[in-house]
Structure formats: structure tokens, C-alpha cells
């Protein structure tokens, strides 16, 4: 095995030597060695013979971190903007009450995994006359799809409409395109994208999910696989705990579905609703402090262990740690909507 050996030699003062007092010379040579710890060599400097004994050191091999998600055979970017997949709208239904602030719609062979996203390229051109750029949306269905045939993909989209500073009504390009889709219409799809929010593989895991509004999408995909589907190689036996932030009760999304999940597996599924205004870290800092836990440090440890995954306003925790359930549970008394 070859290695670079550096030997630093300090020569003593000598009247017969032309070398200056205490000259330091570095001698470098690439050699081969087996298990020798030291390397010896005689070196002539002028007419003087010096014996050099140098310790051979080898830089430790760089250990590359391998993510737990890299070995899962996850497909990403199969369809790209220049060659998108052409899907067809099958259904498009409003899922919020008429008095809810804004409208949220649920719409639905494209390969993807629970927790991934897709890109949508809306029809038409922008103000510069160029095709619209894609927008990313989290997938709201399991890999089997809402029809269970692995041939559909569903999204949960809120129609964006607002008034600008000039008093003009502005409509979000892609959200309105999707919410106005008619069954049978073609849709240009890219992706799938993302490995960060993948559903935990451990069927016994405690999965704590926090989302606001349409951020529920990836967790709906988790929950469908956990409670509505049968798989030979997967049966969920852990605890799925969902915190969903909503501004009003009329804005609750998929409430009937969650009710059925609770009926099927009361010991394995829990859902709690909370207001949307407070930030996730703000909530967690105060929760953790009650139990003497430094939340930011605890989050860092979870992230390092790949147990804390964040995508926009969605957060998934896969952990068997009882303390996080303990301090989250304490806060429910003040956060729960009547």
C-alpha cells in the first residue's frame, strides 16, 4: 500500500558543516509499506550522513454518509418538463364548505411513493409569451391511488385568489388551472420528486404528523396506506398521530376519512385540530420547555437520525421516543378546537 511519508529533520550546529545553525529540512518520498509503523533511511547532506527515522501516518479514509432513503429504489424525475407525462383528469371535487375561506379541491400509470410530489405545467403562456413554468404539489394519494389500481394520482389544491395593492383581483395561475379542470381534460405532469418526506418503512413506528391546510396532502397518502389498504408485506401496528391546523371548522379537510380510520383502528390513529397562526417551532419550543427539553437541540438530534422531515408546512416525525409524545400531549389541552 503506497503512502506519502513526510520526515522533519533538525540538524545540530556544526563548525564543519556548511549548513546554517539548526536548519530544518523536510524530506518527502512515496514508498510502499505493509504494517510497518516507522520508516528509516540514511540521507547524505553534503558529505555528512544522517539517519532519518519517520513515523508513517495515513489519513483516515473518508466515510461517506449514506442516507437511509438512498437504498429504497425511489423513482425521481422520471418525467421532465420537456417531456412531461400527459395525464387525464378523472374527477375534480370541492371538499370545503361554502362558508370556508377559500376553496380546496381534490382531484385525481404514474410511478410514485407516499410522500413524494409532482410538478404540474398549466396550459397557456405567461405575460412574456412563454409557456408557464411548472408548480410543485404534494401527492395526496397512496401509491395505489384512490381507485386502488396504481393508475391515478390525487392532489389537494387551494384556489389562490387575492386583491393586490391596486385593488385588482389576482388569480394564481396553476391553482386556478387545476381547480377549474373538467373530467377528461389533459394535464402535463413532471416528476415524481422528493425523498425527504417518504413514509417511514417501520410498521411499528410512532409517526407524528403536523400540517396546515392543504399541507395534509402527503399525510393523507401515509394514512390511506396505513388504514385503508391491505398489503402482504406491510401492516401498520404503530401509532399515527395527526395534528392539522385549520382556520375554521368549515375548512376541515378529509374529516370523514379520518373518522373512518379512527373507527377501524382506534388504538393506532389519533387526530387533533389546532389553529394555524402559531409556527411549528414556536409551538414545539414552548412544549419542550415544560419538560425541560431544549427543542432546537432535540430537533437537531432527530434530523441527524433522519427522524425529522420537513417539506414546506408539513412535518413528519418517525420516532419511538416517549418524551416527545408526552410534551405534545400536554399542549393539546390549550390547542384543541371545541
Tens of pLDDT, residue by residue, the chain (338 residues): 443 333 333 444 444 444 444 433 444 444 444 444 555 666 565 566 666 565 555 555 665 655 545 556 788 999 999 999 999 888 888 777 665 555 555 554 678 999 999 999 999 999 899 999 999 999 999 999 998 988 899 999 989 988 888 989 999 999 999 999 998 899 999 999 998 889 888 999 888 888 888 889 999 999 999 999 999 999 999 999 888 877 777 778 899 999 999 999 999 999 887 665 455 666 677 667 777 888 788 878 877 776 665 554 444 444 433 444 444 554 444 444 33
Measured CA to CA, the distance from residue 232 to residue 227 in angstroms comes to 14
End-to-end CA distance of the chain: 71
Q: What is the pLDDT of residue 22?
A: 41
pLDDT of residue 57: 54
Please tell me the pTM assigned to this model.
0.65
Looking at 1.20.200.10, 3.20.20.300, 2.40.37.10, 2.40.30.10, the CATH number of the domain 85-193 comes to 2.40.30.10
Strand pairing of 117-121 and 85-88?
unpaired
The predicted structure's pLDDT at residue 222? 96
Phi/psi of residue 244, nearest 5 degrees: -120, 120
C-alpha cell at 321: 421516543
- Contact between 307 and 320 (Cβ < 8 Å): no
In CATH, the number for domain 206-335 is: 3.40.50.80
74 known member of a binding site: no
Q: Where are the beta strands (DSSP E) in the chain?
A: 2-10, 24-32, 38-45, 48-55, 85-88, 92-94, 104-107, 117-121, 135-138, 155-158, 161-163, 169-171, 186-193, 206-212, 239-245, 269-274, 308-311, 314-318
> DSSP assignment, residue 264?
H
List the helix and strand counts (H, then E) for the chain: 6, 18
Which of 190, 43, 185, 87 shows the shortest CA–CA distance to 131? 190
User: Is residue 138 marked as binding?
Assistant: yes
Cα 183 to Cα 197: distance, rounded to the nearest angstrom: 29
- Sequence-ordered list of residues with C-beta below 8 angstroms from that of 1, at least 6 positions apart, any chain: 32, 33, 34
Rg (CA), the chain: 30
Domain ranges of the chain: 2-55, 85-193, 206-335
pLDDT at 196: 84
122 is in an annotated binding site: no
CA 144, CA 150: separation in Å to the nearest integer? 4
Is 158 marked as a binding-site residue?
yes
Return the ∠ at Cα 30 (arms to 24 and 34), rounded to 5°: 115
**pLDDT score, position 336:** 42
What is the predicted pLDDT for the residue at 37? 53
Amino acid at each position: 500500500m503506497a503512502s506519502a511519508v513526510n520526515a522533519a529533520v533538525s540538524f545540530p550546529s556544526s563548525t564543519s558543516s556548511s549548513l546554517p545553525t539548526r536548519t530544518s529540512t523536510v524530506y518527502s518520498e512515496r514508498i510502499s509499506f505493509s504494517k510497518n509503523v516507522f520508516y528509516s533511511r540514511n540521507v547524505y547532506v553534503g558529505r555528512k550522513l544522517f539517519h532519518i527515522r519517520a513515523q508513517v501516518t495515513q489519513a483516515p479514509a473518508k466515510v461517506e454518509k449514506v442516507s437511509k432513503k438512498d437504498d429504497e429504489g425511489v423513482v425521481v424525475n422520471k418525467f421532465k418538463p420537456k417531456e412531461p407525462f400527459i395525464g387525464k383528469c378523472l374527477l375534480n371535487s370541492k371538499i370545503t364548505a361554502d362558508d370556508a375561506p377559500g376553496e380546496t379541491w381534490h382531484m385525481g400509470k404514474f410511478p410514485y411513493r407516499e410522500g413524494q410530489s409532482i410538478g404540474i405545467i398549466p396550459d397557456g403562456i405567461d405575460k412574456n409569451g412563454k409557456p408557464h413554468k411548472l408548480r410543485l404539489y404534494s401527492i395526496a394519494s397512496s401509491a395505489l391511488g384512490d381507485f386502488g389500481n396504481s393508475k391515478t394520482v390525487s392532489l389537494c389544491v387551494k384556489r389562490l385568489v387575492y386583491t393586490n395593492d391596486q385593488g385588482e383581483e389576482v388569480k394564481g395561475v396553476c391553482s386556478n388551472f387545476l381547480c377549474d379542470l373538467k373530467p377528461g381534460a389533459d394535464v402535463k405532469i413532471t416528476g415524481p420528486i422528493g425523498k425527504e418526506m417518504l413514509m417511514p418503512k417501520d410498521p411499528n413506528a410512532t409517526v407524528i404528523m403536523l400540517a396546515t391546510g392543504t399541507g395534509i396532502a402527503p399525510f393523507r397518502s401515509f394514512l390511506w396506506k396505513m388504514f385503508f389498504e391491505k398489503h402482504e408485506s406491510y401492516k401498520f401496528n404503530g401509532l399515527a398521530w395527526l395534528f392539522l391546523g385549520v382556520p375554521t371548522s368549515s375548512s376541515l379537510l378529509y374529516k370523514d376519512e379520518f373518522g373512518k380510520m379512527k373507527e377501524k383502528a382506534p388504538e393506532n390513529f389519533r387526530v387533533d385540530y389546532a389553529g394555524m397562526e402559531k409556527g411549528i417551532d414556536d409551538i414545539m419550543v414552548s412544549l419542550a420547555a415544560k419538560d425541560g427539553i431544549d427543542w432546537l437541540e432535540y430537533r437537531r438530534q432527530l434530523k441527524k437520525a433522519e427522524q425529522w422531515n420537513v417539506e414546506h408546512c408539513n412535518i413528519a416525525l418517525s420516532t419511538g421516543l416517549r418524551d416527545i409524545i408526552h410534551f405534545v400531549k400536554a399542549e393539546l389541552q390549550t390547542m384543541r378546537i371545541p
